[in-house]
Structure 1
């Protein structure tokens, strides 16, 4: 049986968020059940916020073709701007997690953020 077109359309978004797609009858109370033309088609289970950051970092590694720690300084700054826009630094230990992934210190992350804010 082929996948419902609504599920197919949602798949890239759910994957980018690090979520899971379930049958509507498998949904838990924290899952989001989505309907199409009055019929429940899919349930989406969103990841815990701490897991989301790991998923975002993995997606960035795929985008840049390898470990983030191997990127040049300018590209690391672009990554930090992207992560700030996505709210990564609002998470507990977000700065530490990103610093470890980029192979830099927390101080360096704060410097990148301060430079960005000063430029704006």
Structure 2
């Protein structure tokens, strides 16, 4: 969070635990925790025990795919292009489940990150759909 203290959370209401609980989810989607007072109309303000304790600033869609690819790179501990074929197929399945291919140029972006052709990504997708 930009300023966790500014969220006004106190242990007596469990707000700190709530914020700590949502933090991994917010991080996984590439969002940012901010104080409710700093929230704009595009932010999601979360309440705990009847009061606003934290706001979530969602990532711009344009950066979402890059965030997903970075997370997968971190999870695998190496560049995605260095993964074996089976693991690349798993990455494509994960990305499909997260909606990566609904984004414009999603296939091209993923193909570049995996070091394969667009045709290969489509094959991985078709293989999954075919059984």
- 1:78 counterpart residue number: 90
Question: 3-state DSSP class of the match of 1:30?
Answer: coil
Question: What pairs with 1:31-70 in structure 2 (closer than 5 Å)?
Answer: 31-70=43-82
Count of paired positions:
119
* TM-score for the superposition, normalised by structure 1: 0.95
- 1:21 counterpart residue number: 33
Contiguous gaps of at least 5 residues in structure 1:
none
Give me the whole-angstrom Cα distance separating, in 2, the residues matched to 1:50 and 1:83.
15
Question: 3-state DSSP class of the match of 2:47?
Answer: strand
Contiguous gaps of at least 5 residues in structure 2:
none
Structure 1 residues 25-62: Cα deviation after superposition (integer angstroms, max 9, x where no partner) = 00010000000000100000000122111111111011
- 1:113 counterpart residue number: 125
- 1:103 counterpart residue number: 115
Give me the whole-angstrom Cα distance separating, in 2, the residues matched to 1:29 and 1:38.
20
* TM-score for the superposition, normalised by structure 2: 0.87
